[in-house]
């Protein structure tokens, strides 16, 4: 039985191994382990890739969200609106910044934030809306921006799953500021934890950099109460090597998603929907199936590394259960969504094997 992983990190490494090895040697020779020339170069390159003037590397995606939220003024008493069907890190970042989490439902077809619900939830205490660019496509940030016209509410985008995705030609952060994660399994993944904030605002970028360096940009100068969240030089080497290939890797993901659409047509599954105006980068290819847990177990037994993103909406977790509320679309989707293997190096033969196994698992 040929096992098919959810994500093949070894295959990705094989494409960059020589560059990474050479880069690691440079870092070790110069001992530039935190910050340094490699980090500065990556920040510039990722800002250019994102179509924005500023990128600040940080230690991980959750820190990126927290620091972006703090940069726009989220603190005690400030409400932040976010979808109930996100990874818990989105809510954690709000809580860590001292803000109050306010949940809204998702769209029943795309699972992106329900814009009307988000705008209806705005109160005088609202400081930010945090749309999540789920699975690899951007939420309709322009509609949020239009609905917030004249209000002092920032848009802080959770861009952990959408490196390279665009909406009407613009990438994440065009709405104000975006936080991303370079966790190894992401489209642009490090060899450990890493993250970044991108923005058009020099003030917000400076604040993020200050907060992430113990509240100061000069040694032993601490203007803010900050944290220790900086990008390592070794991770910057990996990210630079992969960034040079990311556009091609995303194109290969799009081809794989189109192939799945054809292979799965006619099965008892709901295929993913791309919102008009979006160029999807398919971080996750997520289908909706009946008897999801049973189907998942059968797929895994057949050697298919399918998985679940995310089994429990935020308001049903122990950490945020106190929020309560009812979010029917998120609650209905959670027990039915199933993620299939997708990565740039997946082969048509592997995808055919996944489709055959899924058909058998569905019975």
The CATH number of residue 258's host domain is: 3.90.1150.10
Domain count, the chain: 2
Q: Which residues pair with 54 in a beta bridge?
A: 199
Residue 322 burial (CB < 10 Å; 0-12/13-18/19+)? Answer: exposed
Give the domain extent around 126: 9-240
Position 3 in a domain: no
Identify whether the C-beta of residue 218 lies closer than 8 Å to the C-beta of residue 226: no
With 0.95 as the threshold, say if the pTM is over it.
yes
Question: Do 34 and 100 belong to one domain?
Answer: yes
Position 305 in a domain: yes
Question: Do 113 and 235 belong to one domain?
Answer: yes
Position 115 in a domain: yes
Question: Do 255 and 235 belong to one domain?
Answer: no
Position 2 in a domain: no
Question: Do 58 and 193 belong to one domain?
Answer: yes
pLDDT grade for 239, boundaries at 50, 70 and 90: very high
DSSP secondary-structure letter at 268? S
CA quadruple 38, 282, 65, 308: dihedral positive or negative? negative
Question: Do 211 and 322 belong to one domain?
Answer: no
Question: Do 165 and 37 belong to one domain?
Answer: yes
Position 1 in a domain: no
Position 1 scores a pLDDT of 66
Question: Do 252 and 307 belong to one domain?
Answer: yes
Identify whether the C-beta of residue 217 lies closer than 8 Å to the C-beta of residue 209: yes
- Please write the tens of the pLDDT for every residue from 106-153: 999 999 999 999 999 999 999 999 999 999 999 999 999 999 999 999
Q: Which residues pair with 130 in a beta bridge?
A: none
Position 329 scores a pLDDT of 98
Position 144 scores a pLDDT of 97
- Please write the tens of the pLDDT for every residue from 297-354: 999 999 999 999 999 999 999 999 999 999 999 999 999 999 999 999 999 999 999 9
- Which residue among 216, 240, 264 closes a domain? 240
Which of 193, 175, 195, 176 has its CA nearest to residue 184?
193
End-to-end CA distance of the chain: 20
Residue 157 CA, distance from chain mean position = 9
Identify whether the C-beta of residue 82 lies closer than 8 Å to the C-beta of residue 103: yes
- Please write the tens of the pLDDT for every residue from 17-63: 999 999 999 999 999 999 999 999 999 999 999 999 999 999 999 99
Question: Do 318 and 187 belong to one domain?
Answer: no
pLDDT grade for 175, boundaries at 50, 70 and 90: confident
- Which residue among 214, 240, 266 closes a domain? 240
- Which residue among 222, 240, 258 closes a domain? 240
């Amino acid at each position: 039985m040929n096992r098919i992983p959810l994500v093949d990190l070894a295959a990705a490494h094989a494409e960059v191994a020589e560059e990474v090895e050479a880069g690691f040697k440079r870092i070790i020779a110069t001992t530039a382990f935190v910050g340094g020339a490699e980090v500065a170069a990556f920040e510039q390159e990722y800002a250019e890739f994102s179509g924005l003037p500023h990128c600040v590397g940080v230690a991980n995606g959750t820190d990126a969200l927290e620091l972006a939220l703090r940069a726009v003024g989220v603190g005690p008493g400030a409400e932040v609106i976010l979808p109930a069907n996100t990874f818990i890190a989105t809510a954690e970042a709000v809580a860590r910044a001292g803000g109050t989490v306010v949940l809204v439902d998702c769209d029943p077809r795309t699972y992106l934030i329900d814009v009307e619900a988000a705008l209806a939830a705005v109160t005088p205490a609202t400081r930010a809306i945090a749309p999540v660019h789920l699975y690899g496509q951007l939420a309709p940030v322009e509609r949020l921006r239009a609905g917030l016209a004249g209000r002092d509410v920032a848009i802080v985008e959770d861009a952990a799953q959408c490196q390279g995705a665009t909406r009407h030609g613009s990438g994440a952060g065009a709405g104000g500021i975006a936080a991303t994660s370079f966790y190894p399994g992401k489209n642009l993944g490090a060899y450990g934890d890493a993250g970044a904030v991108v923005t058009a605002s020099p003030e917000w970028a400076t604040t993020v950099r200050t907060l992430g360096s113990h509240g100061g940009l000069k040694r032993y100068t601490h203007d803010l109460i900050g944290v220790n969240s900086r990008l390592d030089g070794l991770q910057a080497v990996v990210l630079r090597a992969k960034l040079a290939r990311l556009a091609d890797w995303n194109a290969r993901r799009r081809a794989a998603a189109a192939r799945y659409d054809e292979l799965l047509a006619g099965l008892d599954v709901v295929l993913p929907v791309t919102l008009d105006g979006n160029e999807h980068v398919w971080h996750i290819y997520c289908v909706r199936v009946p008897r999801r847990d049973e189907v998942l177990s059968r797929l895994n037994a057949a050697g298919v590394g399918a998985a679940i993103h995310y089994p429990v909406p935020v308001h049903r977790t122990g950490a945020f259960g106190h929020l309560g509320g009812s979010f029917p679309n998120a609650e209905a989707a959670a027990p039915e969504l199933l993620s299939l293997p997708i990565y740039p190096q997946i082969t048509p033969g592997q995808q055919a094997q996944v489709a055959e196994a899924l058909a058998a698992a569905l019975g």
